[in-house]
Chain A
Amino acid sequence: MSMASIKFIKRTSFLTSSQFSSHLHRWIDSSSRNKPPVTSSGRFGTVYGGRQLHTAASISSDQLSTEAPSRQELNFPGGSVKFTSKRIFISGSNEERAHCYRVLNENGELVIDNDLLKITKELAVKMYTNMATLQVIDTIFYEAQRQGRISFYLTTTGEEAINIASAAALSNNDFVFPQYREPGVLLWRGFTLQEFANQLFGNKHDYGKGRQMHVHYGSKKHNYVTVSSPIATQIPQAVGAAYSMKMEKQDSCTITYFGDGSSSEGDFHAGLNFSAVMEVPVIFFCRNNGWAISTPISDQLRGDGIVVRGKAYGIPSIRVDGNDALAVYSAVYEARKMAIENQTPVLIEALTYRVGHHSTSDDSTKYRPVDEIEWWRNDQSPVKRFRKWIENKGWWSNDNESQHRSNIRKELAQAVQNAERTQKPPVADMFNNVYDVSPKNLNEQKESLRKTLKQHAKEYPSNVPW
């Protein structure tokens, strides 16, 4: 992935949509009074639907061809547009790609000191420890899958900054519509190691009652909508929830995460387009990590990534270095403010790299070079970079590091043991929540199953409770 071709910028600057919408409003205002839209050159009267209505001072055709100034612009449906006599096609590919906002370089040094939101030691340390915890979680659960203790897992390796820093910039009332590579957001909001383990082992404490695939976490109390497998469906749903917030005039927004692959789905188009029309407070956070399972970004799209699509929909957008926790934090912080104060959608594209395999069912060395993976894992590691920064500030030390990681490892190992030993959810629960109130036919089936289990107890596993 040629990251070298993107320039970094140090300032948050969103491409605005206000210019676009003001044209729209002007046209609607004028047409509602049933007057033909007035153009800037009044000499030839008005142009309405292609017909030219000449004024009393009509001009002869000679004058038309030699002296007449050409019409400057026209009120088409959608707004006033200036004319040009230069036949220039807007290029499909930019010479220069949209710049990427970055604050910390790979050495953990601030590139420039202005624009940075004041981040306290407490917040920075909390961000770092969560990023480190996320790494430990990924390592241990991945190994658990390899040991056959759980059947599936997917890691967030390389995207720890995206997970934690974005969550840190939000408030707990903001509704999160994740894809599946954002458990860090849940971790930040207080989901415990035990709760993660319970979901993965599908035991009776799992909030999903063992009905979901692994890593499909969900928690109502943390305002984190349960992960849904079909790709990109969360995008228009986040817009709908934002609409609900707008109607209730709440001081909150929704955020939805999705990858570069999701941006190809129809739902992406519908969600972004619609959010701009409805003017709702939603943050679209695209994790452009370069890979959709084995599909590289060059096979996924041919434009300049996802950030440039925002302007097409009338949405302010920014491209951010996804491996820079401070840049992600600052961009999401600002985006949230914009979304709520202006009731507008905002698009953030975080460029990063999916260091891990797509999931435990994937071996990415089969379709990409190992040294590429290792370079991103080591040289661009968001965790290492942020650690250098907080260590330089004197807020963290090697001792802190080893202590924190060993504590989390112990705690997590214990959580895994507990989760493994805990009973599975009761079979009777299988029939609940299909509807709000269980219908008669399901109750009949449940009763029928209960009788069958009792009668043929020998043929069913003995450790699964009723």
Chain B
Amino acid sequence: MWGILRQKVGDTGLSPQGLGNQMLRLRPATSAVRDYSAATKEMTVRDALNSALDEEMAADPNVYVMGEEVGEYQGAYKITKGLLDKFGPERVVDTPITEAGFAGIGVGSAYHGLRPVIEFMTFNFSMQAIDHVINSAAKSNYMSAGQINVPIVFRGPNGPAAGVGAQHSQCYGAWYGSVPGLKVLVPYSSEDARGLLKAAIRDPDPVVFLENELLYGESFPVSAEALDSSFTLPIGKAKIEREGKDVTITAFSKMVGYALKAAEILEKEGINAEVINLRSIRPLDRATINASVRKTNRLVTVEEGFPQHGIGAEICASVVEDSFGYLDAPVERIAGADVPTPYAANLERMAFPQIEDIVRAVKRACYRSV
């Protein structure tokens, strides 16, 4: 009955769905029209996530999406655009405003065999549901001794956007990354987004999938292999985005882009930086990070989250434990400022790492010698 009602509302041109279609046609064509001659296609992260959800939902009828505004509104950030039309209201569930409610409902449905993809409008709101994510989803397999598994994915934008203030800008990588039982993924490019989301949905364990609002509109080249519907990326493997021999820079999500730009600037000054895209916070690919540090002997970690107990702290500890003798300089940690994120644009800019900060830190790491 619910489904029939939704069909009726969707019939008129003035419904949110109709408006959404019109708005999409007015989007700048930069992403769609570039590089017809190149072998690889370009795709925005938004489209990458959308296509991944589409394919996984088509392949497995147990997969369903639930969250605020995911259906009629096509998604608060349009990640779930078109899915309601294609799969119907039973598989694209719009919810009342209760993160605790729909996270709990998602976990309960996963207990019984469905494969929910729960969207938090931002992970800041996941704090209202965090008990379900941690005490129920993460720990159930262990606490039931394998009788209950929870193949659930919690996804949504994480970390700062632009001018959204303190309660909408926190990075939750460190919080969720510390919980055994969870897997925590942090895609950067469109290929990351597609491959990791598909892997997350297929994974039998609960996965926290931390996206970035500002990356949604960014375009990346995607290979033909990545466009295939069976494409997945392994969970727990970092990617070396740029090879180098002088210093290792680790980053995830938006900071990978900044690190790559910093590496270009540093190249001109004779510093050859290796940039590692973590892709996965839990499990953390300590092997790749340590192998890189053993090669370069210097490490700079970059993240947008708060510095204390952050991702950089964990990476630093791992390198000190496994590759202490290889370090030629102390590890440099770049993180967000230790303040609730200010709103004013000039202050916000100073609260988060910029490309210049990465360049300066690398230079500090390089001009110190043992």
CA–CA, A439 to B5, complex, Å?
Answer: 46
Are B131 and A233 in contact (CB-based, < 8 A)?
Answer: yes
Instruction: Please give me the residue from chain B that is nearest to A223 by CB atom.
Output: B112
A267-B9 contact, Cβ under 8 Å, with A240-B106, A240-B109 = no
Q: Is A271 an interface residue (CB 8 A)?
A: yes
Are B95 and A274 in contact (CB-based, < 8 A)?
Answer: yes
Chain A residue contacts of B101, Cβ below 8 A: 236, 267, 269-271, 273-274
Are A433 and B141 in contact (CB-based, < 8 A)?
Answer: yes
Q: Is B100 an interface residue (CB 8 A)?
A: yes
Are B136 and A436 in contact (CB-based, < 8 A)?
Answer: no
State which residues 313-344 of B face A: CB under 8 Å.
none
Q: Is A79 an interface residue (CB 8 A)?
A: no
CA–CA, A75 to B144, complex, Å?
Answer: 50
Q: Is B105 an interface residue (CB 8 A)?
A: yes
Query: Which range holds the interface residue count of chain B?
Result: 35 or more
Are B106 and A32 in contact (CB-based, < 8 A)?
Answer: no
Q: Is A440 an interface residue (CB 8 A)?
A: yes
Q: Tell me the minimal C-beta distance from A199 to chain B in angstroms.
A: 11
Chain B residue contacts of A208, Cβ below 8 A: 143-145
Partner of A247, one of B11, B90, B100: B90
A218-B147 contact, Cβ under 8 Å, with A228-B136, A435-B141 = yes
Are A240 and B140 in contact (CB-based, < 8 A)?
Answer: no
Q: Is B36 an interface residue (CB 8 A)?
A: no
Q: Is B353 an interface residue (CB 8 A)?
A: no
Chain B residue contacts of A439, Cβ below 8 A: 236, 283
Chain B residue contacts of A436, Cβ below 8 A: 141, 149, 203-205
Instruction: Please give me the residue from chain A that is nearest to B5 by CB atom.
Output: A28
Partner of B110, one of A209, A238, A240: A240
Chain B residue contacts of A254, Cβ below 8 A: 108, 112
Instruction: Please give me the residue from chain B that is nearest to A225 by CB atom.
Output: B111
Q: Tell me the minimal C-beta distance from B140 to chain A in angstroms.
A: 7
Are A434 and B142 in contact (CB-based, < 8 A)?
Answer: yes
Are B141 and A244 in contact (CB-based, < 8 A)?
Answer: no
Q: Is B12 an interface residue (CB 8 A)?
A: yes
Interface centre among B1, B108, B111 (most CB of A within 10 A): B108
Q: Is B146 an interface residue (CB 8 A)?
A: yes
Are A434 and B141 in contact (CB-based, < 8 A)?
Answer: yes
Are A434 and B148 in contact (CB-based, < 8 A)?
Answer: no
Q: Tell me the minimal C-beta distance from B162 to chain A in angstroms.
A: 31
Total A-B contacts with CB atoms under 8 angstroms apart: 167
Q: Is A148 an interface residue (CB 8 A)?
A: no
Q: Is B104 an interface residue (CB 8 A)?
A: yes
Chain A residue contacts of B145, Cβ below 8 A: 206-209, 211, 432-433
Chain A residue contacts of B146, Cβ below 8 A: 432-433
A247-B114 contact, Cβ under 8 Å, with A32-B11, A434-B181, A439-B236 = yes
Are A211 and B142 in contact (CB-based, < 8 A)?
Answer: yes
CA–CA, A151 to B93, complex, Å?
Answer: 44
Are B283 and A441 in contact (CB-based, < 8 A)?
Answer: yes
Instruction: Please give me the residue from chain A that is nearest to B109 by CB atom.
Output: A240
Residue interface bits A269-280, CB-to-B below 8 A is 1, else 0: 111011001110
Instruction: Please give me the residue from chain A that is nearest to B180 by CB atom.
Output: A434
Residue interface bits A118-156, CB-to-B below 8 A is 1, else 0: 000000000000000000000000000000000000000
CA–CA, A421 to B31, complex, Å?
Answer: 69
Query: Which range holds the interface residue count of chain A?
Result: 35 or more
Residue interface bits B48-91, CB-to-A below 8 A is 1, else 0: 00000000000000001000000000000000000000000010
Are A244 and B5 in contact (CB-based, < 8 A)?
Answer: no
Instruction: Please give me the residue from chain A that is nearest to B102 by CB atom.
Output: A274
Instruction: Please give me the residue from chain B that is nearest to A29 by CB atom.
Output: B8
Are B148 and A226 in contact (CB-based, < 8 A)?
Answer: yes
Instruction: Please give me the residue from chain A that is nearest to B134 by CB atom.
Output: A230
Residue interface bits B219-255, CB-to-A below 8 A is 1, else 0: 0000000000000000010000000000000000000
Partner of A279, one of B2, B95, B100, B148: B2
Q: Is A97 an interface residue (CB 8 A)?
A: no
Q: Is A114 an interface residue (CB 8 A)?
A: no
CA–CA, A25 to B98, complex, Å?
Answer: 23
Chain B residue contacts of A211, Cβ below 8 A: 142-143, 145
Are A219 and B112 in contact (CB-based, < 8 A)?
Answer: no
Q: Is B270 an interface residue (CB 8 A)?
A: no
Q: Is A188 an interface residue (CB 8 A)?
A: no
State which residues 426-463 of A face B: CB under 8 Å.
432-436, 439-441
Q: Is A245 an interface residue (CB 8 A)?
A: yes
Partner of A207, one of B8, B106, B135, B147: B147
Chain A residue contacts of B64, Cβ below 8 A: 247
CA–CA, A240 to B283, complex, Å?
Answer: 28
Q: Is B113 an interface residue (CB 8 A)?
A: yes
Q: Tell me the minimal C-beta distance from A35 to chain B in angstroms.
A: 11
Instruction: Please give me the residue from chain B that is nearest to A212 by CB atom.
Output: B143
**A–B Cβ pairs within 8 angstroms, 25 of them:** A29-B5, A29-B8, A32-B8, A175-B112, A225-B111, A226-B148, A228-B135, A228-B136, A229-B135, A233-B135, A236-B105, A240-B106, A240-B111, A241-B109, A241-B111, A270-B102, A271-B105, A274-B102, A432-B145, A433-B144, A433-B146, A434-B141, A434-B180, A435-B141, A436-B205
Q: Interface of B with A (CB < 8 Å)?
A: 1-2, 5, 8-9, 11-12, 14, 64, 90, 93, 95-96, 98, 100-114, 116, 131-132, 135-136, 140-149, 180-181, 183, 203-205, 236, 283, 286
Leading 5 A-B pairs by shortest Cβ distance: A270-B101, A240-B108, A237-B108, A236-B104, A240-B109
